[in-house]
A and B are shown apart, each in its own frame.
Chain A
Amino acid sequence: MSGFAAIRSAFGSATALFPFLTAGLPTPADSVRLFEAMAEAGADGFEVGIPYSDPLMDGPVIMKGSEIALAAGTNRAVALDIVGEVAKRTGKPVLAMTYVNPVMQTGWTQYASDLAERGGAGIIVPDLPLQESSELAAACLAEGLGLVQFVSPTTTDARIGRVADANPAFIYGVTDMGVTGERTSISPHVASLSERVRAQTDVPLVLGVGISTPEQAATVKNLADGVIIGTVLVRKVLEAENAAAAAVALKSAVAEFKAALS
């Protein structure tokens, strides 16, 4: 099965849960077991953050995670190996979440083939908007990888149409204005965003950015095919005393989110 197909197959009757965690946290050696713990708790797929020096779309928690992972030696090869290892051990579709510059430096086709070779299913690039993405889209198509495209509350209906026409693996719906991070309440924009996407396309819609609690996840579960949670998980790893404690914390957090979505 292609990466694209594997991602699509993660969407079933219940709202799918895609946990995000930075590769190499707390160390490269301990990283994969954290994903395994989340798989055991019912994760349907993963977003693995490739650590980057200038994560423009991320708030302080994920920035911190990225900094720690880089300092621990999580370079591109190590991070992509973690993507592959997570895919192999969990059997779930794994998407690499990276910023555009490292992909551009590797080369669009080289990066796509490196990712596909290791068993990655797709790629998410938050600073590569639709109109700049044709080269990476072609590279992903050639490797069977799923490229994700974004919509946000500010995206016009016409642009949502163009995003849908690109047939991404899923549409990442940014629920709230702003960068990644926890919020005290769910964004008021989310219902209308979901409605506007649904009116135009059947491409799966996955909501992310600012979904911080199982209660918040429950309120959006009928508005989307999937939900991404990230900051809350990275924070648990940063707060944990060691990798074993982090695995326990992640497992129970993911189980709670999973229950809220079912």
Chain B
Amino acid sequence: MKTGRLERPDANGRFGDYGGSFAPETLMPALGELADEFERAWNDPDFKAEYERWLANFVGRPTPLFEARRLSESLGVRLLLKREDLAHTGAHKINNAIGQALLTRRMGKPRVIAETGAGQHGVATATAAAALGLECQVYMGTVDIERQALNVQRMELLGSEVIPVSFGAGTLKDAVSEAMRDWVRTVDTTHYIIGSAVGPHPFPWMVREFQRVIGEECLTQLGSELCDVAVACVGGGSNSIGLFYPLLETEIELVGIEAAGEGIGTGKHGASIIAGRPGVLHGTRTYLLQDDEGQVMEAHSISAGLDYPGVGPEHAYLFDSGMVAYEAVTDLEALEAVDLLSRTEGIIPALESAHALAWVSKNAARLAGETVLVCLSGRGDKDLQTIARSRAT
């Protein structure tokens, strides 16, 4: 067992040196109330039972842990896939969206907002909002609207409004900023369902709690044999923290995979932990891609969900303490992994999840004979256009 796992952040919302609440004053009371209300709800057996019913009957949990036999054979590694792609709406994002939507209803707020990069969190939030009768608006960068057109249509079909964000790079960072600006204006009536384990306290903690079901199910499904290594992609880091947190109590080696984009050396990547340094973005202190003067830099990744210059503060803590190793794979390697899994197992992974898979295939020699669990955080239908375009160039 690794020492130093934090059950919860400290009173100031810190995981070690990371986290906190670097938010405008207007939001401070709402953040305090949210932390209190989440804590009450999470300790309320009725709330928890309702959340678990939604996970079972609506999301379709538990998701399977699938042994990818053909790919295992070709890699020489026993590969297990945690099939979050089979969750309702096609990714792990729904675990958190349902949890926060239930919390919104409990707080008596009629409206939710969300940001989305790949569109998976936007779709999950739109879905939860429809199912619970909440008004929903989703902020999405114009670049992402283009590369994830299918998810835009899904959100609209679900009765949500997608609001384009055109400033900056028109990607996830800008969508988060604009959602926060909306929230500063509407906090009396609106809850911001943040999609990753980022943002000011209590978001990183709350999102982890709503995602830890991934790792808890894995422990049950693995049984006493466990596995040797568990791998997940890290953008903001919600599927990975959900997988890792329960596994921190075991001997399993944990590896988070960031987006190396066109290569770390090119500067066009999303590897905040590997290539960034601590700073403040979107209300939290964490590893950050920034220049010498603290201006935040644009991230780059072929996968919209990893195209973010920051990372959840608990990952920053886990990195510093050595409890989790972080590595990165490139756009090209991720694309190859999409092909590999599609053709050998009949599963089209999301480009995000393909990063974790690519790391295994890249390191197959060193992992030979080991059992490796990969969090297949989402399915790849949304990426078909991006994949086709990358083939054309």
Contact = CB atoms under 8 A, between A and B. Distances in A.
B26 A177 contact: yes
A75 to B, nearest CB: 6
A91 interface: no
A60 B177 CA distance: 12
A241 interface: no
A76 B186 CA distance: 33
A104 B294 contact: yes
B7 interface: no
B25 A129 contact: yes
A70 B293 CA distance: 12
Contacts of A126: 24-25
Nearest to B288: A101
Interface string B6-44: 000000100000001111111111100000000000000
A131 B21 contact: yes
B281 A128 contact: no
Given A57-B184, A132-B22, A154 B290 contact: no
A38 B22 CA distance: 32
Interface string A71-84: 00001100000000
Contacts, number: 110
Interface string A91-111: 000000001111111100000
A99 B282 CA distance: 11
Contact of A127 (B23, B30, B168, B187): B23
A87 B181 CA distance: 32
A152 interface: yes
Interface string A142-155: 00000000111111
A52 B295 contact: yes
B188 A177 contact: yes
B186 A155 contact: no
A106 B177 contact: no
A155 B167 contact: no
A129 B180 contact: no
A174 B28 CA distance: 13
Nearest to A76: B293
A101 B28 contact: no
Given A54-B173, A56-B282, A101-B290, A150 B25 contact: yes
A153 B26 contact: yes
Interface string A45-62: 000000011101101100
A169 to B, nearest CB: 16
A129 B22 contact: yes
Contacts of B27: 154
Residue from the set A53, A67, A99, A155 with the largest chain B CB neighbour count within 10 Å: A53
Contact of A179 (B21, B185, B283): B185
Interface in B291-331: 292-297
B69 to A, nearest CB: 46
B279 interface: yes
B232 interface: no
Contacts of B296: 53-54, 101
A53 B21 contact: no
Contacts of A159: 28-29
24 contacts: A54-B177, A56-B23, A56-B24, A56-B177, A56-B180, A56-B181, A56-B282, A59-B181, A63-B167, A67-B167, A76-B294, A100-B280, A101-B279, A104-B285, A105-B279, A105-B293, A127-B22, A128-B22, A131-B12, A152-B26, A154-B25, A156-B29, A177-B186, A179-B185
Given A67-B167, A102-B295, A105-B294, 18 more contacts: A53-B295, A54-B282, A56-B23, A56-B282, A63-B167, A103-B294, A104-B280, A105-B290, A126-B25, A129-B21, A129-B25, A130-B25, A131-B21, A152-B24, A154-B25, A154-B29, A154-B188, A178-B181
Interface of B: 12, 20-30, 167-168, 173, 177, 180-181, 184-188, 279-283, 285, 288, 290, 292-297
